[in-house]
Amino acid sequence: MSLLNVSALHKYYGENHVLKGVDLSVREGEVVAVIGRSGSGKSTLLRTLNGLETINDGVIEVDGEYVDATRADLRSLRQKVGMVFQQFNLFPHLTAGENVMLAVKVVKKLPHADAERLARQMLDKVGLAEKFDAYPERLSGGQQQRVAIARALAMSPKVLLCDEITSALDPELVNEVLAVVKQLASEGMTLVMVTHEMRFAREVGSKLVFMHHGKVHEVGDPRELFANPQTAEMQQFIGSVD
């Protein structure tokens, strides 16, 4: 039984046909790495999964939530799908702790004391317990991204979407963020990540999706696919990034 199911998904930006019938299913606990050239539609696919982008045709189902071109209950969908961005997007006027607490209080209606306990727990999980009162501008990129992960986790999502979350980081900060993701994966969190970290996709991923021209071009076990890509496009892509 899959937790997330996408079928025949189409998305247009005006005349531009970005997603041309994407099918994808993700089981609970799976770590899906989505790779592909820029413009292949991988980020757009990710953004449709929590309703940041509307869809023109097809169906998305996440843990009983149902989205198609005509209807979407975004409030409940988004409580099940967390997202972490390339640019962190922390709230700069709030401390790390407040960033984690905000939606927990506003959306989940948790009382302040409970929200604070949860936030401390989540920051501890990403190794930033002592930064509860720090403002984002005082944190390194890697720390900011870990706060963003803690913020998403505090909503206890069923799936966590990661949109190139290490691409804006200095190289020496990439590993601390990947370590957190790896830990989440080992705890059984379902992850869908658009990434350029091929080594990470191979080591931690349980499924690899290669997007090309708005379609899922190849999908399978990461180790097998990297070792033995079936199509010329993927061979070329792997050759160009390794």
Partner 1 sequence: MEFTFWDIARNLLTGLEWTLALSLVAFICGGVVGLLVMLARIAPVRWLRILAYSYIELFQGTPLLMQLFIVFFGVALLGTEVSAWLAAAAALTLFTSAFLAEIWRGCVESVSRGQWEASECLAMTRLETLRYVVLPQALRIAVAPTVGFSVQVVKGTAVTSIIGFTELTKTGSMLANATFEPFMVYGLVALGYFALCYPLSRAAYHLERRLNVTA
Computed from CA positions of residues 121, 106, 144, 29, in that sequence, does the dihedral angle turn out positive or negative? Answer: positive
CB closer to partner 1, 102 vs 179: 102
Positions in the binding site for partner 1 (CB under 8 A): 50-52, 74-76, 78-79, 81-83, 85, 87, 89-93, 102-103, 106-107, 148, 151-152, 155
CB closer to partner 1, 69 vs 74: 74
The nearest distance, CB 109 to partner 1, in angstroms, is 12
The nearest distance, CB 74 to partner 1, in angstroms, is 8
The nearest distance, CB 157 to partner 1, in angstroms, is 9
3-class secondary-structure state, position 69: coil
Contact of 195 with 169, CB cutoff 8 Å: no
The whole-angstrom separation of Cα 68 and Cα 56 is: 8
Structure tokens at 32: 């899906």
Structure tokens at 156: 């206890």
Structure tokens at 44: 């757009």
CB closer to partner 1, 191 vs 208: 191
3-class secondary-structure state, position 103: helix
Q: Which of 184, 145, 187 lies closest to 167, judged by CA?
A: 145
Q: Could you give phi then psi for residue 61, rounded to 5 degrees?
A: -125, 130
Q: 17 vs 11, 32, 39, 143, 194, CA distance in Å?
A: 6, 24, 11, 37, 20
The whole-angstrom separation of Cα 194 and Cα 191 is: 10
The nearest distance, CB 91 to partner 1, in angstroms, is 6
Q: 164 vs 68, 86, 194, 230, CA distance in Å?
A: 25, 5, 5, 25
CB closer to partner 1, 34 vs 83: 83
The nearest distance, CB 83 to partner 1, in angstroms, is 4
CB closer to partner 1, 84 vs 225: 84
Number of H helices, E strands in the chain: 9, 10
CB neighbours of 97 closer than 8 A, spacing ≥ 6?
Answer: 116, 119, 120, 123, 132, 133
CB closer to partner 1, 156 vs 186: 156
The nearest distance, CB 148 to partner 1, in angstroms, is 8
CB closer to partner 1, 107 vs 227: 107
The nearest distance, CB 146 to partner 1, in angstroms, is 15
